[in-house]
Amino acid sequence: MDGFQLVARIDEIPPGESKIVIVNDKSIAVFNVEGSFYAIYNVCPHEGGPLGEGRLKGYVVSCPWHELAFDVRNGQGTDGGGYCVGSYEVRVEGQEVFVGGRRTA
Ligand code: FES
């Protein structure tokens, strides 16, 4: 699949959970929100906390270090502080989850 990399089987990431993966040398957090998968850069822009280890509530993950919150659909910060992270394309094929390039929109 063009530029997409296999990162997990869907049963490895149950709804409401996440997995940290490496794609093209980047640490990326993959989330399952009610059966849909989303991927954002794992490294918090504040001080580098691992967003993939944060608490997921709906589409919003809170950084485990100081609680900055990001929408996993687009990487936008939801706290109004101007922080954001990159988000990545995700495809599910059968039982497998693939992550591709960075979303531009
Ligand atoms: S490192 Fe994520 S909020 Fe501080």
Q: How confident is the model at residue 36 (pLDDT cuts 50, 70, 90)?
A: very high
Dist CA 97 CA 105 (whole Å): 21
C-alpha to C-alpha distance for 62 and 69, rounded to whole angstroms:
4
Distance 94 CA to ligand 1 centre (A): 35
Pairing mode, strands 69-71 and 60-62: antiparallel
How remote is the CA of residue 50 from the centroid of ligand 1, in Å? 8
43 lines ligand 1 (CB under 6 A): no
81 lines ligand 1 (CB under 6 A): no
Share above pLDDT 90 across residues of the chain, in percent, rounded to a whole number? 91
d(CA 34, CA 50): 22
The pLDDT tens digits for 2-20 are 789 999 999 999 999 999 9
pLDDT digit string (tens) for 52-75?
999 999 999 999 999 999 999 999
> How far apart (Å, rounded) are the C-alpha atoms in residues 25 and 22?
6
Question: Over 70: is that where the pLDDT of 38 sits?
Answer: yes
Which domains does the chain carry? 5-102 (2.102.10.10)
Residue 47 CA, closest ligand 1 atom number: 1
Q: How confident is the prediction for the chain on average, in pLDDT?
A: 96
Amino acid at residue number 60: V
